[in-house]
């Protein structure tokens, strides 16, 4: 049993004390001796396999030991202290870290999930190895998922696809990511999985032949150029093929790169030489070449990719990279763990230098996610952006100085601006791409040179930007700007209200502060600063009149005229006033009550444009609230005939919004008629929404106005005044 682990350690790890591992193994065997796996096998198989996966990643001795002991604290009688005493505190910390993550129950609720993710991020920020153990644990559990109930299988599979596989991807551990995805795919969608496996194996022989020929040709050409390379045809993973088929709506036959050919060489210079040779052998497809060596992916992946047209006109993908890059491609952050540890290998080449710095970049991502998590109060929103961030594809653009900036795909110049600096984002007024001005919702493409135009003053972001930006960073910054801006607005509004109220009650607010003391005032109102107090007044959680009355009381030492009862009434009034305002905003209810209710969605019918003062009726529409008609509206009368039960009583409230009325004027078509009418409208401060005029039979004019009026009396006076004009025969409101 143990020999498998020891062999793996020999193959992939350095400086591991086998006695130490042996001791951990025996400790785990003893601790779990009463337990069995779901499969009926001894429990120790599970921790041993987990340790093997960690050893394959080339992890250090403490991590491998922690892999063996990872379930000890949770499942057995041994404690953190026991593990520390028997081994060391680093091993104990790792085991405890995994145990804490294990306690997470992944419910469907987004809130729960967001909290779990937060815990994982925190654990990662503390020691990334905890997550590597957790991923190995999950991988072995997925490999043995068949022993679980179907319900459990689906749950685990979904969670694996949602969180663990993307996490592995983010950390660059593609080997684990692919296996997790294929296993989860099998349990999530068994029918699709087995159908795909069958379809692929059917064509396997044919495809293998094809690839074999290409590999032979490549070897021949590379040998001529004196390049030693490992070449192999790598079949793509089931889940990635399946996703491609679903996302791009293609059949298996239409996906040409089922197999990618991978060429591994010694150094970077050879990578580019090989690329040149490949492109002389096979025609490259334009736009499919990607240089991830010059521009590594955020998960540290480096490689050259190109899709070329091979024999028989079939295209295939080719990937060229160094052995070192390959290790990173498979094990991601785990491959770089040893650099942090300061262990060097003989195989280290100069190539590893640029990637080394990315270890910190990786942790930067974890820290960034934690920051976002702190700033995003809505758990659903956080989970959404977390998932997007895990999966997201990137574009790489340049600053005018040639610095590479990577952004989520479809990012805009605004994303770019915020990535450079928050202040640049807040002052952003335009963007230039390759020297040309572009709109701010322009979707950036890899390779473009981006410049941000800023204004001298910080005028702040536009709320509309939230619809087009793609990065979490930009979203969070924009939102927090608005939150802050709103606060400033509330401070000044609250201050104004408080000062006005003080004056009304015969005082000066500054007097209160001087007499009572700011500290006392803040304490009494349980706020931390004067600004907070103003905000609290502005948003209605503190009533200005009660505040001032209380201050008066403290100052004079005797109860003010305001009794508790009036104070209570005050609050109620304030609240209901605010509520009414809110409701009015939401329902666009311009002051009509429906059977005494004010918060029902009403719409003014376009056929008769009722205005306050008109006799009106309401008609309950299907799904669009109550439509308001004038009682003399013909449409309304038809509606009553059709279905009288839908008619409801409505009445005008006392809103102060403007209403639209349409009036028509019949008059002699004389010069200056329109000017005269306009003059009357102007003199009565009436806004015109639209106007049309036509002459009939050469001497009679019909002029139609849509105007905004305050109420029926406003309209009456207006119509009477127009009627007084010379040559006007009739003035009436249109009905249809």
Distance of CA 344 to the CA centre of its chain: 40
Strands 728-733 and 659-668: antiparallel
Contact map string, positions 96 to 135, toward Mn ion, x by CB under 5 A: ----------------------------------------
Task: Return the exposure string of 721-730: e unless at least 16 CB atoms fall within 10 Å of the residue's CB, then b.
Answer: bbeebeebee
Which residue, 60 or 137, has its beta carbon nearer to Mn ion?
Answer: 137
CA atoms of 52 and 4, how far apart (whole Å): 8
Which residues lie closer than 8 Å to 289 by C-beta, 6 or more apart? Answer: 304, 305, 306, 307
Reading the block at residue 433, the tokens are 């791409």
CA atoms of 327 and 710, how far apart (whole Å): 75
Q: Do 394 and 416 touch, CB atoms closer than 8 A?
A: no
685 three-class SS: coil
Please provide residue 253's backbone torsions phi and psi, each rounded to the nearest 5 degrees.
-65, -25
Q: How far is the CB of 188 from Mn ion (least distance, A)?
A: 21
Contact map string, positions 571 to 610, toward Mn ion, x by CB under 5 A: ----------------------------------------
| DSSP conformation class of 686 | P
Q: How far is the CB of 102 from Mn ion (least distance, A)?
A: 7
Q: How far is the CB of 50 from Mn ion (least distance, A)?
A: 6
Strands 394-398 and 404-408: antiparallel
Which residue, 141 or 686, has its beta carbon nearer to Mn ion?
Answer: 141
Q: What is the footprint of Mn ion within residues 55-94 (CB under 5 A)?
A: 71
Q: How many of the chain's residues bind Mn ion (CB under 5 A)?
A: 2
20 three-class SS: helix
Reading the block at residue 446, the tokens are 């890899």
Q: What is the DSSP string of 138-205?
A: HHHHHHTGGGS-HHHHHHHHHHIIIIIHHHHHHTT-HHHHHHHHHHHHHHHSHHHHHHHHHHHHHTHH
| Residues annotated as part of the active site | 74-75
CA atoms of 418 and 411, how far apart (whole Å): 11
CA atoms of 719 and 570, how far apart (whole Å): 42
Q: How far is the CB of 178 from Mn ion (least distance, A)?
A: 21
CA atoms of 608 and 601, how far apart (whole Å): 18
Q: How far is the CB of 576 from Mn ion (least distance, A)?
A: 57
Reading the block at residue 596, the tokens are 């005494």
Which residue, 72 or 703, has its beta carbon nearer to Mn ion?
Answer: 72
Q: What is the footprint of Mn ion within residues 134-173 (CB under 5 A)?
A: 137
Reading the block at residue 143, the tokens are 């490999």
Which residue, 137 or 389, has its beta carbon nearer to Mn ion?
Answer: 137
| CB atoms closer than 10 angstroms to residue 473 | 21
CA atoms of 173 and 332, how far apart (whole Å): 5
CA atoms of 139 and 136, how far apart (whole Å): 5
Q: Which of 23, 126, 103 is nearest to 66 (CA)?
A: 23
CA atoms of 574 and 398, how far apart (whole Å): 54
Which residues lie closer than 8 Å to 675 by C-beta, 6 or more apart? Answer: none
Which residue, 137 or 532, has its beta carbon nearer to Mn ion?
Answer: 137
Bridge partner residues of 667 (DSSP):
701, 728
Q: Do 112 and 321 touch, CB atoms closer than 8 A?
A: no
Which residues lie closer than 8 Å to 314 by C-beta, 6 or more apart? Answer: 210, 256
Which residue, 71 or 351, has its beta carbon nearer to Mn ion?
Answer: 71
Q: What is the footprint of Mn ion within residues 252-281 (CB under 5 A)?
A: none
Distance of CA 67 to the CA centre of its chain: 34
Which residues lie closer than 8 Å to 144 by C-beta, 6 or more apart? Answer: 37, 38, 39, 46
Which residue, 140 or 336, has its beta carbon nearer to Mn ion?
Answer: 140
Q: How far is the CB of 100 from Mn ion (least distance, A)?
A: 13
Q: How far is the CB of 137 from Mn ion (least distance, A)?
A: 4
Which residue, 104 or 424, has its beta carbon nearer to Mn ion?
Answer: 104
Q: Does 415 bind Mn ion (CB under 5 A)?
A: no
Q: How far is the CB of 46 from Mn ion (least distance, A)?
A: 6
Which residue's CB comes closest to Mn ion?
137
Which residue, 98 or 411, has its beta carbon nearer to Mn ion?
Answer: 98
Q: How far is the CB of 71 from Mn ion (least distance, A)?
A: 5
Q: What is the footprint of Mn ion within residues 216-245 (CB under 5 A)?
A: none
Q: Which of 256, 261, 251 is nearest to 212 (CA)?
A: 261
Q: How far is the CB of 140 from Mn ion (least distance, A)?
A: 7
| DSSP conformation class of 464 | G
Task: Return the exposure string of 405-420: e unless at least 16 CB atoms fall within 10 Å of the residue's CB, then b.
Answer: bbbbebbbbbbbbbbb
Which residue, 93 or 137, has its beta carbon nearer to Mn ion?
Answer: 137
Q: How far is the CB of 70 from Mn ion (least distance, A)?
A: 6
Q: Do 334 and 59 touch, CB atoms closer than 8 A?
A: yes
Which residue, 49 or 324, has its beta carbon nearer to Mn ion?
Answer: 49
Which residue, 44 or 673, has its beta carbon nearer to Mn ion?
Answer: 44
Reading the block at residue 675, the tokens are 């000017």
Reading the block at residue 14, the tokens are 């350095």
Q: What is the footprint of Mn ion within residues 449-478 (CB under 5 A)?
A: none
Q: For the chain, what's the residue count?
A: 736
Q: How far is the CB of 55 from Mn ion (least distance, A)?
A: 16
Q: Do 239 and 185 touch, CB atoms closer than 8 A?
A: yes
Q: Which residues bind Mn ion (CB under 5 A)?
A: 71, 137
């Amino acid at each position: 049993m143990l020999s498998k682990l020891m062999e793996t350690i020999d193959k992939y790890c350095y400086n591991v004390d086998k006695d130490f591992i042996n001791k951990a193994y025996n400790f785990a065997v003893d601790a779990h001796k009463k337990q069995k796996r779901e499969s009926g096998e001894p429990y120790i198989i599970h921790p041993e396999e987990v340790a093997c996966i960690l050893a394959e990643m080339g992890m250090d001795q403490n991590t491998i030991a922690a892999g063996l002991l990872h379930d000890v604290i949770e499942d057995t009688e041994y404690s953190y202290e026991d593990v520390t005493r028997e081994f060391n505190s680093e091993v104990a910390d790792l085991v405890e870290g995994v145990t804490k993550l294990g306690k997470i129950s992944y419910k469907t609720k987004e809130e729960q999930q967001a909290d779990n993710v937060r815990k994982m991020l925190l654990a990662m920020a503390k020691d990334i190895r905890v997550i590597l153990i957790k991923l190995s644990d999950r991988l072995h559990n997925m490999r043995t998922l068949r022993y679980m109930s179907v319900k459990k299988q689906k749950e685990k599979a979904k969670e694996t696809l949602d969180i663990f596989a993307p996490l592995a991807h983010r950390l660059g551990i593609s080997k684990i990511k692919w296996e997790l995805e294929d296993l989860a795919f099998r349990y999530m969608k068994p029918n699709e999985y087995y159908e795909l496996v069958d379809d692929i194996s059917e064509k396997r022989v044919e495809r293998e032949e094809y690839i074999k020929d290409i590999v032979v040709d490549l070897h021949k050409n590379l040998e001529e150029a004196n390049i030693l390379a490992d070449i192999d045809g790598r079949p793509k993973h089931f889940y990635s093929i399946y996703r491609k088929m679903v996302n791009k709506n293609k059949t298996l036959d239409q996906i040409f790169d089922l197999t990618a050919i991978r060429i591994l060489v010694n150094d970077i210079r050879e990578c580019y030489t090989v690329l040149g040779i490949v492109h002389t052998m096979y025609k490259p497809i334009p736009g499919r070449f990607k240089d991830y060596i010059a521009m590594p992916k955020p998960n540290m992946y480096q490689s050259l990719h190109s899709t070329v047209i091979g024999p028989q006109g079939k295209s295939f993908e080719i990937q060229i990279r160094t052995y070192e890059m390959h290790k990173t491609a498979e094990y991601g952050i785990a491959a770089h763990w040893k650099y942090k540890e300061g262990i060097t290998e003989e195989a280290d080449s100069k190539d590893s230098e640029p990637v080394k710095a990315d270890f910190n970049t990786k942790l930067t991502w974890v820290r960034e996610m934690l920051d976002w998590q702190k700033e995003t109060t809505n758990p659903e929103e956080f989970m959404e952006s977390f998932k997007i961030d895990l999966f997201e594809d990137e574009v790489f653009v340049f600053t005018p100085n040639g610095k590479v900036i990577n952004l989520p795909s479809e990012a805009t110049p605004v994303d770019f601006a915020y990535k450079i600096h928050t202040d640049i984002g807040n002052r952003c007024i335009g963007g230039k791409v390759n020297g040309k001005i572009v709109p701010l919702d322009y979707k950036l493409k890899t390779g473009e040179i981006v410049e941000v135009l800023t204004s001298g003053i910080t005028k702040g972001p536009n709320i509309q930007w939230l619809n087009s930006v793609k990065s979490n960073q930009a979203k969070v910054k924009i939102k927090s700007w608005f939150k802050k801006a709103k606060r400033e607005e509330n401070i000044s509004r609250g201050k104004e209200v408080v000062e006005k109220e003080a004056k009304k009650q015969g005082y000066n607010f500054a007097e209160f502060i001087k007499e009572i003391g700011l500290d006392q005032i803040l304490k009494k109102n349980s706020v931390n600063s004067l600004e907070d107090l103003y905000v609290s007044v502005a948003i209605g959680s503190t009533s200005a009149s009660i505040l001032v009355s209380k201050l008066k009381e403290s100052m004079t030492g005797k109860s003010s005229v305001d009794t508790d009862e009036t104070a209570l009434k005050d609050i109620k009034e304030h609240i209901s006033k605010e509520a009414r305002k809110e409701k009015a905003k939401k329902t666009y209810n311009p002051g009509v009550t429906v059977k005494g209710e004010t918060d029902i969605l009403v719409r003014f019918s376009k056929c008769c444009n009722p205005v306050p003062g008109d006799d009106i009726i309401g008609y309950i529409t299907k799904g669009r609230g109550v439509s308001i008609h004038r009682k003399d509206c013909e449409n309304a009368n038809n509606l009553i005939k059709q279905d009288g039960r839908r008619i409801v009583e409505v009445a005008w409230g006392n809103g102060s919004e403007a209403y639209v009325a349409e009036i028509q004027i019949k008059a002699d078509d004389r010069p200056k008629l329109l000017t005269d009418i306009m003059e009357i409208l102007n003199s009565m401060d009436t806004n015109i929404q639209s106007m049309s005029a036509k002459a009939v039979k050469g001497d009679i004019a019909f002029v139609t106005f849509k105007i905004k009026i305050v109420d029926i009396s406003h309209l009456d006076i207006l119509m009477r005044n127009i009627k007084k004009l010379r040559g006007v025969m009739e003035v009436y409101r249109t009905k249809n």
